[in-house]
């Protein structure tokens, strides 16, 4: 079974620029998450999707961050415009709907904002 795929793996941009990250979850996983992991911290939830609907985006900075999962499969997370404090690893995770428990994480996208 293929794991959660993310791209790009690394991205360096200047502040005020825009950036987008892509995630392809495990086939059949209806629930998809985006987490932000700042260096030295645990992952922090940004947004959760159930199929193509948003379940929780209470911690997403909506003035600059947006995410979509139009067909209930792939997802894109965008930052526009980026700030220095957005430098972090952005992790995508998925799980099979209806089961509480472990999430399967992708390798993450490492973003550096200069």
Instruction: Provide the binding-site residues for another protein, judged by CB under 8 A.
Output: 4, 33, 40-45, 48, 55-56, 59, 91, 93, 100-108
| Minimum distance, C-beta of residue 32 to another protein, in the bound complex (Å) | 11
Q: Residue 2 forms beta bridges with which residues? A: none
Q: Residue 54 forms beta bridges with which residues? A: 49
CA trace torsion 36, 58, 53, 70 (10° rounding): -50
| Minimum distance, C-beta of residue 16 to another protein, in the bound complex (Å) | 28
Which is closer to another protein, CB of 17 or CB of 37? 37
Query: Rounded to whole angstroms, what are the CA distances from 112 to 15, 33, 45, 78, 85?
Result: 9, 21, 19, 14, 9
| Minimum distance, C-beta of residue 14 to another protein, in the bound complex (Å) | 24
Which is closer to another protein, CB of 4 or CB of 19? 4
Which is closer to another protein, CB of 55 or CB of 114? 55
Q: Which two tokens stand for residue 85?
A: 């404090």
């Amino acid at each position: 079974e293929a794991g959660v795929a993310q791209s790009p793996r690394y991205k360096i941009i200047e502040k005020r620029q825009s950036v987008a990250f892509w995630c392809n979850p495990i086939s059949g996983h209806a629930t998809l998450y985006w987490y932000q992991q700042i260096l030295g911290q645990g992952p922090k939830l940004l947004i959760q999707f159930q199929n193509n609907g948003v379940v929780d985006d209470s911690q997403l900075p909506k003035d600059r961050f947006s995410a979509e999962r139009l067909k209930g499969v792939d997802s894109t997370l965008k930052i526009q415009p980026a700030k220095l404090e957005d430098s972090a690893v952005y992790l995508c995770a998925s799980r099979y709907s209806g089961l509480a428990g472990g999430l399967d994480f992708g390798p993450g996208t490492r973003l550096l904002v200069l």
